[in-house]
A and B are shown apart, each in its own frame.
Chain A
Amino acid sequence: MAEHEHILSARLYVIIWAVLMCLTVITAGVAFIDLGPFNTVVALVIATFKALLVVLIFMHVKYTSDRLTKTVILSALFWLMLLLGLSLMDYGTRHFV
């Protein structure tokens, strides 16, 4: 449990911030280009990438030696998928009969 604090450089934070800002502009811009069904895919991929940057760098998850934090995040996401997946299973198969 003993973990020495990483003090990250301010430069890294600013770089991550710049990337996040650029991605925001990109995701808003891409929405105006017709990619068919891939508009949603691109938007969600960019959002997930942004979220990952925030979690890993800003929230220091990349630098923590504590596996518990990652376990908590992954199990919460797993449970979210259970909720979404199993309810959508009903909605997705209703018209089969």
Chain B
Amino acid sequence: MSDSLIALEHPTELQHHFADMEQQKSTSTFGMWLFLGTEIMFFGGMFAAYLIYRRWYYNEFALGSRSINIWLGTINTMVLICSSLTVALGVRAAQMGKRKLLVTLLLITMVFGVAFLGIKGVEWYQKYEEHHVPGSSFNASDLVSVGQKYGVHINQAHSQIYFSLYFALTGLHALHMVVGLGIFTVLTYFAWKGKYTPEYHTPIEIGGLYWHFVDIVWIYLFPLLYLIDRKPFH
């Protein structure tokens, strides 16, 4: 890299081992897609556990799902979809080189992200107050009595499996959101500094891919955790 001639030909954002910007961009994007592929398998292990226990303990899963606040879940889904829109528009702003618009959209995205986590926190706190957090203080006697009302037997241990998966899935999803917020903080900083141009904005693009992926995971978590059985009992 010490060669000054090469340095002249190379745009500053181009790392030494790539031939041109095109190669660097397609390489980074491909890397992110592969990473998202591994993420599918990461959540996949929990989906396998979910499927098996949902089949085995349907009543416990159904009543556990009913006990979660569907309003918070629906609003949170919408919040994430809004954030995906602002990310998509942000990538577009970067493609067109609109720095101020890009920074604004990134900031709005982060506000949505924080709002999601806040609502999630409220939901978790409700579960904590209801003693539905798995562990030594877990108590699902309320679900048992709801079950008696409708004539289904509820095993508290099996309810705990539902809530374990609920917390594992939403918790790891929230962890991904926190990582996403970290990434976006850095992106916003550099966007504000004017680092991204129509020629070079790969970080915005692959950061966006990550954000959309986390959104998609939630699009599946919502029906799987919140909508198992909401229909009225006969």
Contacts and interface: CB of A to CB of B under 8 A. Distances in A.
Nearest to B56: A91
Interface string B178-214: 0000000000000000000000000000001100110
A47 B223 contact: yes
Interface string B44-75: 11011001100100000000000000100110
Contacts of A47: 219-220, 222-223
Contacts of B23: 1
A1 B33 CA distance: 16
Interface size class on chain A is 35 or more
B74 A24 contact: yes
A39 B222 contact: no
Nearest to A58: B88
B107 to A, nearest CB: 18
Nearest to B205: A60
Interface in A17-43: 17, 20-21, 24-25, 27-28, 31-35, 39-40, 43
Interface residues of B, number: 51
Contact of B51 (A14, A43, A88): A88
A50 B84 CA distance: 12
Given A13-B92, A31-B227, A47-B222, A59 B212 contact: yes
Interface stretch (B4-12, B34-42, B116-124): B34-42
A15 to B, nearest CB: 10
A3 B22 CA distance: 8
A43 B52 contact: no
Contacts of B114: none
A46 B33 contact: no
A80 B74 CA distance: 26
A80 B40 contact: yes
Contacts of A44: 223
B40 A8 contact: no
A67 to B, nearest CB: 11
Q: Select the residue from B45, B55, B215, B219 with max chain A CB neighbours within 10 A.
A: B219
B26 A1 contact: yes
A20 B51 CA distance: 26
B30 interface: yes
Contacts of B212: 54-55, 58-59
The CB with the most chain A CB atoms within 10 A, among B84, B208, B228, is that of B84
A93 interface: no
Q: Which 5 A/B pairs are nearest by Cβ-Cβ distance?
A: A76-B37, A43-B223, A31-B230, A34-B231, A17-B85
10 contacts: A2-B22, A7-B92, A16-B85, A24-B78, A31-B227, A34-B231, A39-B229, A58-B208, A72-B34, A84-B51
Given A39-B229, A76-B40, 10 more contacts: A13-B89, A17-B84, A20-B81, A32-B232, A51-B220, A55-B212, A59-B212, A68-B33, A79-B44, A88-B52
